[in-house]
Amino acid sequence: MAKPIKSILKKNLSFKVNGSLWLECGGKKYFGPGPMELLEKIAESGSITKAARQMGMSYQKACQIISRLNKHAAFPLVESQVGGKKGGGSLISPAAQELMNYHYKLRKQFLSFLEKQTWLIS
């Protein structure tokens, strides 16, 4: 019979079960904390430039992430708006909001799992 994990680890040390969560496409990271934050910042600011700046990321890198997101989604996730009084901007689409909501829910379940597993070794 397998030993309980607590009996294998040294006492008086602090252990925590940890991990990161992302969606993959074709064996490569597609959507996780970075793209999630970028979409949140675009939604808040209405601008890829401002979102990238807030994240300490180049505009080019932000555009590469958005291009990859849009390429593998059935609907555009970020849509550019041209012109206008403020000179245009960018919006996240309803599809992006659905993906973000899914990730929020999945992340909540994932964090709960990590917490439960940490209790097993505490």
- Look at residue 41 and give its three-state secondary structure: helix
- Model confidence over 13-37: pLDDT tens digits? 888 899 999 999 999 999 999 999 9
- Model confidence over 35-81: pLDDT tens digits? 999 999 999 999 999 999 999 999 999 999 999 999 999 999 999 88
State the residue range of the domain holding 57.
28-121
Residue 38 covered by a domain: yes
Residue 13 covered by a domain: no
Q: How many domains does the chain have?
A: 1
Q: Report the CATH number that the domain containing residue 111 is assigned in CATH.
A: 1.10.10.10
* Per-position DSSP letters for 86-105, written without gaps between them: TTEEEEE-HHHHHHHHHHHH
pLDDT at 84: 66
Residue 7 covered by a domain: no
Residue 22 covered by a domain: no
Residue 75 covered by a domain: yes
CB 77 within 8 A of CB 90: no
CB 19 within 8 A of CB 114: yes
